[in-house]
Amino acid sequence: MCRITATISARPLSRPELLYGGPKSLLAQAGAVEGRFQDDGWGIGYFSRGRPGLIKSQGPARLERAKFSAAADKAVSRVTVAHLRDASNPGNLPKARLISRNNTQPFSADGLIFAHNGTLFIKDEIRALLGKYASKVKGTNDSEVLFWQAVKMLDAYGSPEAALEMALDEIRTVWISCRDRYPGRPAPYRGLNMFLASPGSLTVLCHYQLKKEGGKGALLTPGWQFGRVAWRRDKDGVAFSSEPADERAGWKKMNDPEIASARTAGGKIRLSFKRITL
């Protein structure tokens, strides 16, 4: 499954220590464990003058270290979202149809940046409910369907926190009517860790089917549960990551399911958490 590191700060800056500068950085995670390489593309999203910018590659980050590091240095922004892809394939598509720029995360539109870690098994059912947003889906990625579902919910409910919560609610509601099509599947997803960013906010949903992972752990943090989003507040801002992205103390675990909301306001960051009841 994919790896994500996202940050928010009160002033524009880059965070190379989290993205490529250390032994537990996002780039270090790309090739950390044989058989679990994050080789299906990478991307870094940021905001420049309030507008999203994306630097992407469909190649393996571990083999494009200089390119990845240069992109991280360029991402001087209050909010950044970086993603390593280990492609899920709920539609059992040929590998060639999975790997492309359109399928590489993060995704961006309407002043937003979005990334997802996990697998949505009922991609087609959720896409069928996107309405006018369905035509905007360009690739074959279940995560892109989740992005446009989040945009739909944001337009309907007005806040990113409500958007992610209502996206989760819709997925679970649809599952009731279509679960018979998926014998052997206990849930409509294996992971809905979603990161939704705007120029002044970062909203994170932590929700992963941890019990279904058979005890699989994080890549570089012994004892850290796979799928459990890590977060830390420090002098530079707040960071969220698929697992701790450096060796400094202070990383905490988000609850599951839980939504974190971080916003810049008056030169400071306001951070709050909301537990979700399923």
Q: What is the pLDDT of residue 213?
A: 45
Whether 211 shows a pLDDT value over 60: the answer reads: no
Phi and psi angles of residue 84, each rounded to the nearest 5 degrees, phi first? -110, 135
What are the C-alpha distances in Å from 258 to residues 161, 194, 203, 265, 277? Answer: 10, 11, 11, 22, 9
Phi and psi angles of residue 11, each rounded to the nearest 5 degrees, phi first? -135, 155
The model's confidence at residue 125, banded by pLDDT at 50, 70 and 90, is very high
Range with top average pLDDT, 85-99, 147-161, 208-222: 147-161
Q: What is the pLDDT of residue 215?
A: 58
The model's confidence at residue 89, banded by pLDDT at 50, 70 and 90, is confident
User: How large is the average pLDDT for residues 70-74?
Assistant: 98
The candidate with the shortest Cα–Cα distance to 76, out of 11, 7, 14, is 14
Q: Domain holding 186: CATH number?
A: 3.60.20.10
Whether 168 shows a pLDDT value over 50: the answer reads: yes
Domain that holds residue 140: 3-275
The model's confidence at residue 214, banded by pLDDT at 50, 70 and 90, is low
pTM for the model stands at: 0.96
- 269 in Cβ contact with 248 (< 8 Å): no
Q: What's the rounded Cα separation, in Å, for the pair 77 and 181? A: 44
184-187: Cβ within 8 A, 24+ apart: 185/121, 186/212, 187/121, 187/212
Q: What's the rounded Cα separation, in Å, for the pair 213 and 185? A: 13
Work out the mean pLDDT of the chain and round it to a whole number. 95
Q: How do residues 73-82 score in pLDDT, each as one tens digit?
A: 999 999 999 9
| Positive/negative CA dihedral, 128, 130, 136, 138 | negative
Whether 132 shows a pLDDT value over 70: the answer reads: yes
Q: How do residues 178-195 score in pLDDT, each as one tens digit?
A: 999 999 999 999 999 999
Q: What is the pLDDT of residue 136?
A: 97
Helix (H) or strand (E) run with residue 109 in it: strand 107-109
Q: Is 253 helix (H, G, I), strand (E, B) or coil?
A: strand
DSSP 217: B
Number of folded domains that form the chain: 1
Tell me what percent of the residues of the chain surpass a pLDDT of 90.
91
Whether 207 shows a pLDDT value over 60: the answer reads: yes
User: How large is the average pLDDT for residues 235-253?
Assistant: 97
Cβ density class 189-223: b for 16+ within 10 Å, e for less: bbbbbbbbbbbbbbbbbbbbbbeeeeeeebbbbee
The encoded tokens of residue 170 equal 């819709």
Q: What is the pLDDT of residue 230?
A: 98
User: How large is the average pLDDT for residues 210-235?
Assistant: 83
Task: Please compute Rg for the chain using Cα positions.
Answer: 17
The model's confidence at residue 217, banded by pLDDT at 50, 70 and 90, is confident
- 125 in Cβ contact with 176 (< 8 Å): no
- 65 in Cβ contact with 20 (< 8 Å): yes
Q: What's the rounded Cα separation, in Å, for the pair 25 and 95? A: 28
Q: What is the pLDDT of residue 157?
A: 98
